[in-house]
Amino acid sequence: MGFVPWSHINSWRCNGCGLCCKEFEVVLTFKEWLKITKTYGVGVTKAGLNKFFMGKRPDGSCIFLYRAPDGRWLCGLQGNKPLACKLWPFKVLSKPKYGNPREAAFEYGGQRFYVYVDSFCPGIIWGRPSMELVYKVIPEFIEIALGIRQNQLYSTMPLAPGFYIIRTKRDYRLI
């Protein structure tokens, strides 16, 4: 099905299934690559012809994906999470790219954006857009895309109170 306009979904919430971290190749900006390799070493990334990518395990999953005690999949890069990962499954664009421009248009801060959602994500609930989607979720994705927001609240999986991700540099070394 591909990308659909935001107005086709009722809500979205990350359910920690890990499919996005298992099925897709994450392109890194040079700045993201530098930050990650400074902290974890160059072995956790790979270089392409003109791009850098997040490293993968032999099973195809992201090198930083791990299973939490409750069974959900979590990202071990929370503080250094690449923009592509923060935005998935949403695409925030200045021009319509995947059709249906009227249904994808979203006004925010006096600007028009075209917001699409990757229908591959199982966290999508289809239907008429909820108030939370319109007033909290999509604005957060737009702010992250514009670089005016770093912290994720609605655009990531909620963790239980008292649940902290503690990983050391050594945890991610490739052998």
DSSP code per residue over the chain: --EEEGGGEEEE------HHHHH-PPEE-HHHHHHHHHHH-GGGEEE-SS-EEE-B-TTS-BTTEEE-TTS-EEETTGGG--HHHHHTTEEEESS--SS-HHHHEEEETTEEEEEEEETT-TTEEESSPPHHIIIIIHHHHHHHHHTS----SSSSPPPPTT------GGGG---
pLDDT, residue 80, reads 86
pLDDT at 23 over 70: yes
Confidence class for position 160, pLDDT limits 50, 70, 90: low
pLDDT at 152 over 90: no
pLDDT at 119 over 80: yes
Confidence class for position 22, pLDDT limits 50, 70, 90: very high
Half-sphere exposure of 141 (CA within 13 A, CB side): 27
pLDDT, residue 150, reads 84
Span 115-125, mean pLDDT? 97
- Across all residues in the chain, what is the average pLDDT? 89
pLDDT at 148 over 70: yes
Window from 45-49, 64-68, 78-82, 153-157 with minimum mean pLDDT: 153-157
Cβ-contact 62, 21 below 8 angstroms: yes
pLDDT at 170 over 80: no
Confidence class for position 175, pLDDT limits 50, 70, 90: very low
pLDDT at 167 over 70: no
Look at the block and give the residue holding tokens 């609930």: 125
